[in-house]
Structure 1
Amino acid sequence: MKSVSHKVIKFLPGILCFVLSFNSYAQEEPTKSGNSAQELADKMANPVASLISVPLQNNLTYGIGPYNGIKYQINIQPVVPFKLSENLNLITRYILPVVDQQDVTGENTHEFGLSDATVTAFFAPKTKGLILGLGPAFLVPTATEKFLGTEKFGIGPSVLVMHQGKGLSIGFLANQIWSVAGNADRADFNQFYTQIFLTHSYKSGASLGVTSEITQNWQGNTTLITLSPNVGAITKLGGQTMQFAVMPLIPIVGHQSIKPDWGLRAVVAFIFPQ
Protein backbone atom coordinates (compact mmCIF):
# COMPACT_ATOMS: atom_id res chain seq x y z
CA MET A 1 0.00 0.00 0.00
CA LYS A 2 2.73 2.47 0.90
CA SER A 3 4.53 1.88 -2.38
CA VAL A 4 1.30 2.63 -4.26
CA SER A 5 0.78 5.81 -2.25
CA HIS A 6 4.33 6.99 -2.85
CA LYS A 7 3.88 6.52 -6.59
CA VAL A 8 0.66 8.54 -6.48
CA ILE A 9 2.34 11.32 -4.47
CA LYS A 10 5.08 11.54 -7.10
CA PHE A 11 2.47 11.57 -9.85
CA LEU A 12 0.28 14.38 -8.48
CA PRO A 13 2.86 17.21 -8.62
CA GLY A 14 3.47 16.33 -12.26
CA ILE A 15 -0.21 16.79 -13.02
CA LEU A 16 -0.23 20.10 -11.12
CA CYS A 17 2.77 21.42 -13.08
CA PHE A 18 1.16 20.30 -16.32
CA VAL A 19 -2.11 22.06 -15.50
CA LEU A 20 -0.46 25.28 -14.31
CA SER A 21 1.68 25.50 -17.45
CA PHE A 22 -1.24 24.61 -19.64
CA ASN A 23 -2.32 27.88 -21.25
CA SER A 24 0.33 27.65 -23.97
CA TYR A 25 -0.92 24.22 -25.01
CA ALA A 26 -4.70 24.54 -24.66
CA GLN A 27 -6.81 24.53 -27.78
CA GLU A 28 -8.67 27.76 -28.39
CA GLU A 29 -9.88 26.66 -31.81
CA PRO A 30 -13.12 24.70 -32.13
CA THR A 31 -12.85 20.93 -32.27
CA LYS A 32 -14.33 18.90 -35.10
CA SER A 33 -17.58 18.85 -33.10
CA GLY A 34 -17.62 22.67 -33.11
CA ASN A 35 -16.82 23.01 -29.42
CA SER A 36 -14.11 25.43 -28.32
CA ALA A 37 -11.87 24.59 -25.36
CA GLN A 38 -13.94 26.88 -23.12
CA GLU A 39 -17.20 25.28 -24.27
CA LEU A 40 -15.80 21.84 -23.42
CA ALA A 41 -14.68 23.11 -20.00
CA ASP A 42 -18.20 24.43 -19.40
CA LYS A 43 -19.72 21.11 -20.45
CA MET A 44 -17.39 19.21 -18.13
CA ALA A 45 -18.60 21.45 -15.29
CA ASN A 46 -22.20 20.49 -16.11
CA PRO A 47 -23.07 17.03 -14.73
CA VAL A 48 -25.95 16.63 -17.23
CA ALA A 49 -24.21 17.93 -20.36
CA SER A 50 -24.82 15.84 -23.48
CA LEU A 51 -21.18 14.76 -23.63
CA ILE A 52 -19.55 11.34 -23.38
CA SER A 53 -16.62 11.39 -20.96
CA VAL A 54 -14.63 8.94 -18.84
CA PRO A 55 -13.09 10.66 -15.81
CA LEU A 56 -10.58 8.78 -13.67
CA GLN A 57 -10.69 10.40 -10.24
CA ASN A 58 -7.64 9.63 -8.07
CA ASN A 59 -8.08 10.26 -4.33
CA LEU A 60 -5.36 9.96 -1.73
CA THR A 61 -6.20 10.54 1.96
CA TYR A 62 -4.02 10.32 5.06
CA GLY A 63 -4.68 10.20 8.79
CA ILE A 64 -8.02 8.38 8.67
CA GLY A 65 -9.57 7.37 11.98
CA PRO A 66 -7.91 6.31 15.25
CA TYR A 67 -5.17 4.29 13.48
CA ASN A 68 -4.07 7.11 11.13
CA GLY A 69 -5.01 5.04 8.09
CA ILE A 70 -4.08 5.77 4.50
CA LYS A 71 -6.40 5.25 1.54
CA TYR A 72 -5.95 5.44 -2.22
CA GLN A 73 -9.15 5.27 -4.23
CA ILE A 74 -9.60 5.62 -7.97
CA ASN A 75 -13.15 6.23 -9.12
CA ILE A 76 -13.87 5.16 -12.69
CA GLN A 77 -16.70 7.52 -13.65
CA PRO A 78 -18.03 7.18 -17.23
CA VAL A 79 -20.83 9.55 -18.26
CA VAL A 80 -23.05 8.39 -21.15
CA PRO A 81 -25.92 10.55 -22.46
CA PHE A 82 -28.95 9.29 -24.37
CA LYS A 83 -31.19 11.48 -26.48
CA LEU A 84 -34.83 10.69 -25.65
CA SER A 85 -36.38 13.51 -27.68
CA GLU A 86 -35.50 16.89 -29.13
CA ASN A 87 -36.01 18.47 -25.72
CA LEU A 88 -35.08 15.73 -23.27
CA ASN A 89 -31.85 13.84 -22.54
CA LEU A 90 -31.13 10.95 -20.19
CA ILE A 91 -27.67 11.33 -18.65
CA THR A 92 -26.30 8.20 -17.01
CA ARG A 93 -23.38 8.47 -14.60
CA TYR A 94 -21.49 5.49 -13.19
CA ILE A 95 -19.00 5.44 -10.31
CA LEU A 96 -16.94 2.29 -9.77
CA PRO A 97 -14.38 2.72 -6.96
CA VAL A 98 -11.17 0.70 -6.69
CA VAL A 99 -9.72 0.98 -3.19
CA ASP A 100 -6.34 0.24 -1.61
CA GLN A 101 -6.26 1.07 2.10
CA GLN A 102 -4.17 0.34 5.18
CA ASP A 103 -4.89 0.81 8.91
CA VAL A 104 -8.41 2.09 8.20
CA THR A 105 -10.53 -0.74 9.63
CA GLY A 106 -7.99 -1.59 12.33
CA GLU A 107 -4.31 -1.56 13.20
CA ASN A 108 -2.10 -3.42 10.69
CA THR A 109 -5.04 -4.16 8.40
CA HIS A 110 -5.03 -3.96 4.60
CA GLU A 111 -7.87 -4.14 2.09
CA PHE A 112 -7.71 -3.95 -1.69
CA GLY A 113 -10.43 -4.37 -4.30
CA LEU A 114 -13.63 -2.98 -5.70
CA SER A 115 -16.04 -1.01 -3.54
CA ASP A 116 -19.78 -0.59 -4.19
CA ALA A 117 -20.81 1.09 -7.43
CA THR A 118 -23.21 4.00 -7.72
CA VAL A 119 -25.33 4.48 -10.85
CA THR A 120 -27.31 7.67 -11.41
CA ALA A 121 -29.75 8.52 -14.20
CA PHE A 122 -30.71 12.17 -14.71
CA PHE A 123 -33.65 13.14 -16.90
CA ALA A 124 -32.52 16.56 -18.12
CA PRO A 125 -34.63 18.89 -20.28
CA LYS A 126 -32.62 20.90 -22.81
CA THR A 127 -32.51 24.38 -21.35
CA LYS A 128 -30.14 27.34 -21.20
CA GLY A 129 -29.30 29.28 -18.07
CA LEU A 130 -31.09 27.33 -15.33
CA ILE A 131 -30.37 23.61 -15.71
CA LEU A 132 -32.37 20.89 -13.96
CA GLY A 133 -31.89 17.15 -13.68
CA LEU A 134 -33.94 14.57 -11.80
CA GLY A 135 -33.87 10.79 -11.62
CA PRO A 136 -33.02 7.67 -9.61
CA ALA A 137 -29.72 6.73 -7.98
CA PHE A 138 -28.75 3.11 -7.33
CA LEU A 139 -26.25 1.51 -4.96
CA VAL A 140 -24.93 -1.73 -6.47
CA PRO A 141 -23.04 -4.19 -4.17
CA THR A 142 -19.95 -4.79 -6.33
CA ALA A 143 -17.42 -4.82 -3.45
CA THR A 144 -14.89 -7.65 -3.50
CA GLU A 145 -13.91 -7.21 0.18
CA LYS A 146 -16.28 -7.26 3.16
CA PHE A 147 -14.90 -4.03 4.61
CA LEU A 148 -15.05 -2.21 1.27
CA GLY A 149 -18.79 -2.52 0.73
CA THR A 150 -22.23 -2.73 2.28
CA GLU A 151 -23.50 -5.99 0.73
CA LYS A 152 -26.71 -4.02 0.14
CA PHE A 153 -28.65 -2.92 -2.92
CA GLY A 154 -30.02 0.60 -2.57
CA ILE A 155 -32.15 3.12 -4.41
CA GLY A 156 -33.24 6.72 -3.98
CA PRO A 157 -33.77 10.07 -5.72
CA SER A 158 -31.11 12.31 -7.24
CA VAL A 159 -31.40 15.95 -8.25
CA LEU A 160 -29.28 18.59 -9.95
CA VAL A 161 -29.91 22.34 -9.94
CA MET A 162 -27.42 24.69 -11.56
CA HIS A 163 -27.06 27.93 -13.46
CA GLN A 164 -24.59 28.15 -16.29
CA GLY A 165 -23.51 31.05 -18.44
CA LYS A 166 -20.47 31.26 -20.66
CA GLY A 167 -17.51 30.75 -18.37
CA LEU A 168 -19.45 30.43 -15.12
CA SER A 169 -21.12 27.37 -13.59
CA ILE A 170 -22.70 27.26 -10.14
CA GLY A 171 -25.01 24.69 -8.60
CA PHE A 172 -25.41 21.50 -6.61
CA LEU A 173 -26.27 17.85 -7.09
CA ALA A 174 -27.58 15.56 -4.38
CA ASN A 175 -28.87 12.06 -3.78
CA GLN A 176 -30.41 10.11 -0.93
CA ILE A 177 -30.08 6.33 -1.05
CA TRP A 178 -31.73 3.73 1.18
CA SER A 179 -30.92 0.01 1.12
CA VAL A 180 -33.84 -2.16 0.02
CA ALA A 181 -32.25 -5.62 -0.26
CA GLY A 182 -29.08 -7.52 0.53
CA ASN A 183 -27.34 -9.28 3.38
CA ALA A 184 -29.65 -9.13 6.40
CA ASP A 185 -26.69 -9.46 8.77
CA ARG A 186 -25.18 -6.16 7.54
CA ALA A 187 -26.29 -2.72 8.68
CA ASP A 188 -28.85 -0.91 6.56
CA PHE A 189 -27.60 1.77 4.20
CA ASN A 190 -29.14 5.23 4.62
CA GLN A 191 -26.98 8.03 3.24
CA PHE A 192 -27.33 11.54 1.85
CA TYR A 193 -24.70 13.07 -0.43
CA THR A 194 -24.48 16.53 -1.94
CA GLN A 195 -21.87 18.38 -3.95
CA ILE A 196 -21.91 22.18 -4.23
CA PHE A 197 -19.72 23.64 -6.96
CA LEU A 198 -18.59 26.92 -8.53
CA THR A 199 -16.38 26.92 -11.64
CA HIS A 200 -15.04 29.68 -13.86
CA SER A 201 -13.60 28.75 -17.26
CA TYR A 202 -11.37 30.68 -19.67
CA LYS A 203 -10.96 30.77 -23.46
CA SER A 204 -7.85 28.63 -23.20
CA GLY A 205 -9.86 25.81 -21.62
CA ALA A 206 -8.33 26.39 -18.19
CA SER A 207 -10.70 26.57 -15.21
CA LEU A 208 -10.67 27.58 -11.56
CA GLY A 209 -13.26 26.57 -9.03
CA VAL A 210 -14.21 25.37 -5.61
CA THR A 211 -16.25 22.33 -4.57
CA SER A 212 -17.71 21.26 -1.26
CA GLU A 213 -18.89 17.70 -0.66
CA ILE A 214 -21.16 16.68 2.21
CA THR A 215 -21.83 13.05 3.12
CA GLN A 216 -24.37 12.34 5.87
CA ASN A 217 -24.59 8.73 7.04
CA TRP A 218 -27.93 8.65 8.85
CA GLN A 219 -27.51 5.02 9.92
CA GLY A 220 -24.09 5.62 11.49
CA ASN A 221 -24.89 9.20 12.55
CA THR A 222 -21.70 10.57 10.98
CA THR A 223 -21.07 13.63 8.82
CA LEU A 224 -18.13 14.40 6.55
CA ILE A 225 -17.68 17.80 4.88
CA THR A 226 -14.75 18.60 2.61
CA LEU A 227 -13.72 21.75 0.73
CA SER A 228 -11.69 21.58 -2.49
CA PRO A 229 -10.36 24.57 -4.45
CA ASN A 230 -9.38 23.27 -7.87
CA VAL A 231 -7.59 24.11 -11.12
CA GLY A 232 -8.19 22.32 -14.41
CA ALA A 233 -7.46 22.47 -18.12
CA ILE A 234 -8.60 21.09 -21.47
CA THR A 235 -6.01 19.81 -23.93
CA LYS A 236 -5.35 17.23 -26.62
CA LEU A 237 -2.87 14.38 -26.39
CA GLY A 238 -2.51 13.08 -29.90
CA GLY A 239 -6.06 13.11 -31.19
CA GLN A 240 -7.65 12.55 -27.77
CA THR A 241 -9.36 15.48 -26.05
CA MET A 242 -8.73 15.39 -22.29
CA GLN A 243 -9.22 17.36 -19.12
CA PHE A 244 -6.77 17.44 -16.22
CA ALA A 245 -7.63 18.77 -12.77
CA VAL A 246 -5.97 18.78 -9.37
CA MET A 247 -7.21 19.87 -5.93
CA PRO A 248 -6.59 19.39 -2.21
CA LEU A 249 -9.24 17.61 -0.12
CA ILE A 250 -9.61 19.77 2.96
CA PRO A 251 -11.71 18.16 5.73
CA ILE A 252 -13.92 20.70 7.48
CA VAL A 253 -16.24 18.53 9.59
CA GLY A 254 -16.04 14.83 10.30
CA HIS A 255 -16.34 12.13 12.93
CA GLN A 256 -13.00 10.80 14.19
CA SER A 257 -13.67 7.40 12.65
CA ILE A 258 -13.96 8.73 9.07
CA LYS A 259 -12.31 12.17 8.93
CA PRO A 260 -8.85 12.21 7.31
CA ASP A 261 -6.16 14.71 8.27
CA TRP A 262 -5.73 15.75 4.63
CA GLY A 263 -6.07 14.52 1.08
CA LEU A 264 -5.33 15.15 -2.59
CA ARG A 265 -7.38 14.54 -5.72
CA ALA A 266 -6.23 14.40 -9.34
CA VAL A 267 -8.62 13.86 -12.23
CA VAL A 268 -7.80 12.71 -15.73
CA ALA A 269 -10.85 12.73 -18.01
CA PHE A 270 -11.14 11.38 -21.54
CA ILE A 271 -13.64 13.47 -23.53
CA PHE A 272 -15.51 12.39 -26.66
CA PRO A 273 -17.24 15.46 -28.16
CA GLN A 274 -20.31 14.61 -30.19
Structure 2
Amino acid sequence: MMALRAAVAFVLGASSIVRPAHAQDADELAKQLSNPVANLISVPLQFNYDDGIGPADDGSKALLNVQPVIPVSISEKWNLISRTIIPIAYQDDIFPGAGSQFGSGDILQSLFFSPKAPTSSGWVWGVGPVLNLPTASNDLLGANQWGAGPTAVVLKQTHAGWTFGTLVNHVWSFGGGDNRADISNTFLQPFVSKGLGEGRTVTVNLESTYDWKSEQWTVPINFGYSKVSKIGKQLVSYQGGVRYYLEAPDSGAEWGLRFAFTLLFPEH
Protein backbone atom coordinates (compact mmCIF):
# COMPACT_ATOMS: atom_id res chain seq x y z
CA MET A 1 0.00 0.00 0.00
CA MET A 2 2.94 2.37 0.54
CA ALA A 3 3.81 2.06 -3.15
CA LEU A 4 0.18 2.78 -4.08
CA ARG A 5 0.01 5.91 -1.91
CA ALA A 6 3.32 7.13 -3.34
CA ALA A 7 2.05 6.72 -6.92
CA VAL A 8 -1.17 8.61 -6.16
CA ALA A 9 0.82 11.42 -4.54
CA PHE A 10 3.15 11.54 -7.55
CA VAL A 11 0.29 11.84 -10.05
CA LEU A 12 -1.57 14.45 -7.98
CA GLY A 13 1.63 16.41 -7.43
CA ALA A 14 2.47 16.38 -11.12
CA SER A 15 -1.02 17.50 -12.12
CA SER A 16 -0.77 20.51 -9.79
CA ILE A 17 2.18 21.99 -11.72
CA VAL A 18 1.25 21.16 -15.30
CA ARG A 19 -0.04 23.72 -17.78
CA PRO A 20 -2.40 22.97 -20.67
CA ALA A 21 -0.70 22.46 -24.00
CA HIS A 22 -1.99 24.30 -27.07
CA ALA A 23 -5.28 22.54 -27.85
CA GLN A 24 -4.48 21.61 -31.46
CA ASP A 25 -0.98 20.36 -30.63
CA ALA A 26 -2.31 18.48 -27.60
CA ASP A 27 -4.99 16.74 -29.66
CA GLU A 28 -2.44 15.68 -32.27
CA LEU A 29 -0.10 14.31 -29.59
CA ALA A 30 -2.97 12.50 -27.89
CA LYS A 31 -3.83 10.92 -31.24
CA GLN A 32 -0.23 9.81 -31.73
CA LEU A 33 -0.14 8.32 -28.21
CA SER A 34 -3.11 6.13 -29.17
CA ASN A 35 -1.02 4.70 -32.03
CA PRO A 36 1.65 2.19 -30.89
CA VAL A 37 3.70 2.77 -34.08
CA ALA A 38 3.38 6.55 -34.35
CA ASN A 39 6.40 8.64 -35.32
CA LEU A 40 6.73 10.00 -31.77
CA ILE A 41 9.52 9.53 -29.23
CA SER A 42 7.98 8.97 -25.81
CA VAL A 43 9.05 7.62 -22.43
CA PRO A 44 6.06 6.32 -20.45
CA LEU A 45 6.51 5.56 -16.74
CA GLN A 46 3.59 3.23 -16.07
CA PHE A 47 2.74 2.27 -12.49
CA ASN A 48 0.47 -0.74 -11.96
CA TYR A 49 -0.96 -1.99 -8.68
CA ASP A 50 -2.72 -5.37 -8.41
CA ASP A 51 -4.47 -6.73 -5.33
CA GLY A 52 -6.18 -9.96 -4.33
CA ILE A 53 -3.28 -12.22 -5.38
CA GLY A 54 -2.76 -15.72 -3.95
CA PRO A 55 -5.06 -18.43 -2.62
CA ALA A 56 -6.01 -16.26 0.36
CA ASP A 57 -6.42 -13.12 -1.81
CA ASP A 58 -4.06 -11.21 0.50
CA GLY A 59 -1.12 -10.75 -1.87
CA SER A 60 -0.31 -7.62 -3.87
CA LYS A 61 2.08 -6.40 -6.54
CA ALA A 62 3.32 -2.94 -7.48
CA LEU A 63 4.96 -2.72 -10.90
CA LEU A 64 6.68 0.23 -12.56
CA ASN A 65 7.15 -0.27 -16.31
CA VAL A 66 9.65 2.05 -17.97
CA GLN A 67 8.59 1.91 -21.63
CA PRO A 68 10.67 4.02 -24.05
CA VAL A 69 9.29 4.17 -27.60
CA ILE A 70 11.80 5.25 -30.27
CA PRO A 71 10.91 5.48 -33.99
CA VAL A 72 13.75 5.46 -36.54
CA SER A 73 13.39 6.31 -40.22
CA ILE A 74 15.03 3.49 -42.22
CA SER A 75 13.91 4.53 -45.70
CA GLU A 76 11.70 6.99 -47.51
CA LYS A 77 8.62 4.86 -46.84
CA TRP A 78 9.41 2.84 -43.70
CA ASN A 79 9.98 3.39 -39.98
CA LEU A 80 11.43 1.00 -37.42
CA ILE A 81 9.77 1.49 -34.03
CA SER A 82 11.48 0.17 -30.92
CA ARG A 83 9.17 -0.46 -27.95
CA THR A 84 10.87 -1.63 -24.75
CA ILE A 85 9.28 -2.66 -21.45
CA ILE A 86 11.64 -2.53 -18.46
CA PRO A 87 9.79 -3.71 -15.32
CA ILE A 88 10.66 -2.85 -11.72
CA ALA A 89 8.47 -4.69 -9.23
CA TYR A 90 7.65 -5.06 -5.56
CA GLN A 91 5.39 -7.96 -4.58
CA ASP A 92 4.27 -9.42 -1.29
CA ASP A 93 2.60 -12.72 -0.31
CA ILE A 94 1.88 -13.82 -3.89
CA PHE A 95 1.66 -17.35 -2.47
CA PRO A 96 1.94 -18.71 1.10
CA GLY A 97 5.48 -18.38 2.43
CA ALA A 98 6.73 -16.35 -0.53
CA GLY A 99 7.47 -13.24 1.52
CA SER A 100 8.28 -10.11 -0.45
CA GLN A 101 10.53 -9.41 -3.43
CA PHE A 102 11.81 -6.20 -4.99
CA GLY A 103 13.85 -5.78 -8.13
CA SER A 104 13.87 -5.89 -11.91
CA GLY A 105 11.81 -8.24 -14.06
CA ASP A 106 12.36 -9.62 -17.55
CA ILE A 107 12.76 -7.01 -20.30
CA LEU A 108 10.43 -7.33 -23.30
CA GLN A 109 11.79 -5.79 -26.52
CA SER A 110 9.58 -5.31 -29.58
CA LEU A 111 10.58 -3.99 -33.01
CA PHE A 112 7.97 -2.98 -35.57
CA PHE A 113 8.63 -2.36 -39.26
CA SER A 114 5.85 0.05 -40.21
CA PRO A 115 4.99 2.02 -43.38
CA LYS A 116 5.12 5.78 -42.81
CA ALA A 117 1.83 6.29 -44.66
CA PRO A 118 -1.48 4.55 -43.87
CA THR A 119 -3.07 2.31 -46.49
CA SER A 120 -5.54 3.80 -48.97
CA SER A 121 -8.37 2.80 -46.61
CA GLY A 122 -6.67 4.41 -43.60
CA TRP A 123 -5.19 1.40 -41.84
CA VAL A 124 -1.86 1.62 -39.98
CA TRP A 125 0.16 -1.53 -39.36
CA GLY A 126 3.52 -2.85 -38.23
CA VAL A 127 5.20 -6.25 -37.89
CA GLY A 128 8.46 -7.50 -36.45
CA PRO A 129 10.14 -9.59 -33.76
CA VAL A 130 9.66 -9.60 -30.00
CA LEU A 131 12.34 -10.74 -27.52
CA ASN A 132 12.09 -11.74 -23.86
CA LEU A 133 15.36 -11.07 -22.01
CA PRO A 134 15.92 -12.91 -18.69
CA THR A 135 17.00 -9.86 -16.70
CA ALA A 136 14.97 -10.53 -13.51
CA SER A 137 16.92 -9.97 -10.31
CA ASN A 138 14.85 -12.61 -8.46
CA ASP A 139 13.46 -15.97 -9.61
CA LEU A 140 9.96 -14.90 -8.54
CA LEU A 141 10.11 -11.74 -10.67
CA GLY A 142 10.82 -13.38 -14.03
CA ALA A 143 10.77 -16.55 -16.10
CA ASN A 144 14.57 -17.01 -16.32
CA GLN A 145 14.13 -17.91 -19.98
CA TRP A 146 15.26 -16.41 -23.26
CA GLY A 147 12.29 -16.03 -25.55
CA ALA A 148 11.43 -14.77 -29.03
CA GLY A 149 8.60 -14.67 -31.51
CA PRO A 150 6.57 -12.43 -33.85
CA THR A 151 4.61 -9.31 -33.02
CA ALA A 152 2.16 -7.22 -35.04
CA VAL A 153 -0.18 -4.27 -34.67
CA VAL A 154 -2.99 -2.99 -36.86
CA LEU A 155 -5.19 0.05 -36.19
CA LYS A 156 -7.33 2.75 -37.73
CA GLN A 157 -7.88 6.34 -36.63
CA THR A 158 -10.94 8.36 -37.64
CA HIS A 159 -11.55 12.09 -38.04
CA ALA A 160 -14.06 11.85 -35.18
CA GLY A 161 -11.24 11.03 -32.75
CA TRP A 162 -11.69 7.27 -32.55
CA THR A 163 -8.79 4.82 -32.59
CA PHE A 164 -9.36 1.09 -32.69
CA GLY A 165 -7.04 -1.81 -33.31
CA THR A 166 -5.19 -4.82 -31.95
CA LEU A 167 -1.64 -5.56 -30.85
CA VAL A 168 -0.53 -9.20 -30.70
CA ASN A 169 2.63 -11.17 -30.01
CA HIS A 170 3.70 -14.70 -29.22
CA VAL A 171 6.83 -15.64 -27.26
CA TRP A 172 8.45 -19.09 -27.21
CA SER A 173 11.40 -19.83 -24.94
CA PHE A 174 14.60 -21.11 -26.56
CA GLY A 175 17.05 -21.21 -23.66
CA GLY A 176 17.55 -20.42 -19.99
CA GLY A 177 17.33 -22.13 -16.64
CA ASP A 178 16.76 -25.90 -16.89
CA ASN A 179 14.76 -25.83 -13.66
CA ARG A 180 12.22 -23.32 -15.00
CA ALA A 181 9.15 -23.94 -17.12
CA ASP A 182 9.31 -23.23 -20.84
CA ILE A 183 7.43 -20.22 -22.21
CA SER A 184 4.70 -20.32 -24.86
CA ASN A 185 2.54 -17.24 -24.33
CA THR A 186 0.21 -15.39 -26.68
CA PHE A 187 -0.54 -11.74 -25.88
CA LEU A 188 -3.61 -10.16 -27.46
CA GLN A 189 -4.52 -6.51 -26.84
CA PRO A 190 -7.60 -5.18 -28.62
CA PHE A 191 -7.97 -1.48 -27.86
CA VAL A 192 -10.30 1.43 -28.53
CA SER A 193 -9.90 5.07 -27.56
CA LYS A 194 -11.80 8.32 -28.08
CA GLY A 195 -10.25 11.76 -28.20
CA LEU A 196 -12.32 14.28 -26.22
CA GLY A 197 -10.48 17.43 -27.30
CA GLU A 198 -7.92 19.56 -25.44
CA GLY A 199 -5.53 16.59 -25.32
CA ARG A 200 -7.92 14.36 -23.39
CA THR A 201 -8.50 10.69 -24.24
CA VAL A 202 -10.50 7.81 -22.79
CA THR A 203 -9.28 4.29 -23.48
CA VAL A 204 -10.53 0.73 -23.03
CA ASN A 205 -8.37 -2.33 -23.73
CA LEU A 206 -7.98 -5.99 -22.92
CA GLU A 207 -4.42 -7.10 -22.14
CA SER A 208 -5.13 -10.78 -22.64
CA THR A 209 -2.46 -13.46 -22.23
CA TYR A 210 -2.89 -17.16 -22.98
CA ASP A 211 -0.35 -19.54 -21.45
CA TRP A 212 -0.28 -22.55 -23.78
CA LYS A 213 1.67 -24.62 -21.24
CA SER A 214 -0.89 -24.28 -18.46
CA GLU A 215 -3.82 -23.68 -20.87
CA GLN A 216 -4.82 -20.60 -18.87
CA TRP A 217 -6.13 -17.17 -19.87
CA THR A 218 -5.40 -13.99 -17.93
CA VAL A 219 -7.73 -11.22 -19.13
CA PRO A 220 -7.77 -7.82 -17.42
CA ILE A 221 -9.99 -5.10 -18.86
CA ASN A 222 -8.48 -1.62 -18.43
CA PHE A 223 -10.32 1.71 -18.37
CA GLY A 224 -8.17 4.83 -18.57
CA TYR A 225 -8.31 8.62 -18.91
CA SER A 226 -5.30 10.65 -20.07
CA LYS A 227 -4.44 14.26 -20.83
CA VAL A 228 -1.56 15.95 -22.65
CA SER A 229 -0.11 18.96 -20.82
CA LYS A 230 3.17 20.79 -20.21
CA ILE A 231 5.59 21.03 -17.32
CA GLY A 232 7.58 24.12 -18.17
CA LYS A 233 8.54 23.53 -21.81
CA GLN A 234 8.34 19.75 -21.53
CA LEU A 235 5.31 18.11 -23.14
CA VAL A 236 3.88 15.31 -21.01
CA SER A 237 0.87 13.07 -20.69
CA TYR A 238 -0.58 11.77 -17.47
CA GLN A 239 -3.08 8.95 -17.11
CA GLY A 240 -5.14 7.25 -14.46
CA GLY A 241 -7.28 4.14 -14.66
CA VAL A 242 -8.67 0.97 -13.14
CA ARG A 243 -8.86 -2.63 -14.25
CA TYR A 244 -10.83 -5.74 -13.43
CA TYR A 245 -9.75 -9.30 -14.20
CA LEU A 246 -12.40 -11.01 -16.30
CA GLU A 247 -10.32 -14.21 -16.24
CA ALA A 248 -7.27 -15.18 -14.19
CA PRO A 249 -5.65 -18.21 -12.55
CA ASP A 250 -7.07 -19.20 -9.16
CA SER A 251 -4.21 -17.37 -7.43
CA GLY A 252 -4.25 -14.39 -9.81
CA ALA A 253 -5.19 -10.79 -9.08
CA GLU A 254 -8.81 -9.63 -8.87
CA TRP A 255 -8.48 -5.90 -9.58
CA GLY A 256 -5.87 -3.23 -10.13
CA LEU A 257 -5.00 0.42 -10.67
CA ARG A 258 -2.84 2.12 -13.28
CA PHE A 259 -1.15 5.52 -13.31
CA ALA A 260 1.16 6.67 -16.09
CA PHE A 261 3.35 9.70 -16.64
CA THR A 262 4.79 10.06 -20.15
CA LEU A 263 7.53 12.37 -21.44
CA LEU A 264 6.85 13.40 -25.06
CA PHE A 265 9.44 14.45 -27.65
CA PRO A 266 7.62 15.38 -30.86
CA GLU A 267 9.52 16.33 -33.99
CA HIS A 268 9.56 20.02 -34.88
Same fold at TM > 0.5: yes
Equivalent positions of 1:1-274 (< 5 A) are 2-11=1-10, 14=12, 18=15, 25-28=19-22, 36-67=25-56, 68-107=58-97, 109-128=99-118, 129-166=122-159, 167-258=161-252, 260-274=253-267
**Structure 1 SS opposite 2:213:** coil
Cα separation, 1, equivalents of 2:133 and 2:92: 24
Cα separation, 1, equivalents of 2:21 and 2:10: 24
Cα separation, 2, equivalents of 1:83 and 1:169: 24
Cα separation, 2, equivalents of 1:143 and 1:76: 14
Question: Following TM superposition, by how much is the alpha carbon of 1:164 offset from its aligned partner in structure 2, in angstroms?
Answer: 1.2
Cα separation, 1, equivalents of 2:163 and 2:216: 30
Matched residues, number:
261
Cα separation, 1, equivalents of 2:71 and 2:96: 41
TM-score normalised by L of structure 1: 0.90
**Structure 2 SS opposite 1:220:** coil
CA deviation vs aligned residue, 1:183-221 (integer Å, no higher than 9, x gap): 122110111111111111133111112111101111222
Which runs of 5 or more residues in structure 2 are unaligned? none
**Structure 2 SS opposite 1:66:** coil
CA deviation vs aligned residue, 1:206-237 (integer Å, no higher than 9, x gap): 11121111011112222111111211100000
Moved over 6 A (4+): none
Question: Following TM superposition, by how much is the alpha carbon of 1:10 offset from its aligned partner in structure 2, in angstroms?
Answer: 4.8
User: What is the aligned partner in structure 2 of residue 33 from structure 1?
Assistant: none
Maintained 8 Å contact 1:105/1:147: no
Cα separation, 2, equivalents of 1:10 and 1:77: 21
Cα separation, 1, equivalents of 2:215 and 2:203: 30
CA deviation vs aligned residue, 1:163-195 (integer Å, no higher than 9, x gap): 112322100101000001111221101111111
TM-score normalised by L of structure 2: 0.92
Cα separation, 2, equivalents of 1:46 and 1:72: 26
Cα separation, 1, equivalents of 2:73 and 2:109: 18
**Structure 2 SS opposite 1:174:** strand
Question: Following TM superposition, by how much is the alpha carbon of 1:4 offset from its aligned partner in structure 2, in angstroms?
Answer: 2.6
**Structure 2 SS opposite 1:43:** helix
Maintained 8 Å contact 2:208/2:219: yes
**Structure 2 SS opposite 1:188:** coil
Percentage of identical aligned residues? 33
Maintained 8 Å contact 2:172/2:185: yes
Cα separation, 1, equivalents of 2:157 and 2:198: 18
Distance 1:69 1:164, change over 3 A: same
Alpha-carbon RMSD: 1.8
Cα separation, 1, equivalents of 2:23 and 2:210: 43
Distance 1:29 1:173, change over 3 A: same
